[in-house]
Each structure stands twice: as structure tokens, then as C-alpha cells.
Amino acid sequence: MNRADWIKNTHLFDPDDYECSACGAKAGRPYDRCPNCGKEMCGAKDGSSWVDEAAFMDFITGGF
């Protein structure tokens, strides 16, 4: 398998980052190839990391 996807990790207060689905390396933008493993990228998939961050913020603020 010579191809992989970027998984877009959206954060509430930090810039988005992209994670290689093959090796787990993180990058600040979606490159054509992973700088770590060299696999060709097919596209980007949205991750759901921001949901956990939003739930945590709701928890610590008491739901306000």
C-alpha cells in the first residue's frame, strides 16, 4: 500500500494539524507526501478531536 490519507485534527484554541494515517506523523498542513514515511496522500479526512475538547470545556465551565 503506497498511499495514505491525512486525518485533519481540528482544535478549539490551537491551529489545525494533520496526521498521517500510515505512520501517525503530524504536520501543519496537508502535503502531497508524508514528510516522515514518504507515502503519497489521497486526501484529508476530518477527525473528531474538537468534540472531545468542546466536551471538556463544557465540563470545566459547568455548562455555561
- 20: phi > 0 → left, psi -120 to 50 → alpha, else beta; which? beta
Every domain of the chain and the residues it spans: 3-60
Confidence of residue 64 (pLDDT cuts 50, 70, 90): low
HSE toward the beta carbon, residue 17, CA cutoff 13 A: 11
pTM > 0.85 = no
Specify the pLDDT at position 37: 95
State residue 44's pLDDT score: 79
How does pLDDT run across 6-46, given as a tens digit for each residue?
Answer: 999 888 788 889 999 999 999 999 999 999 999 999 987 77
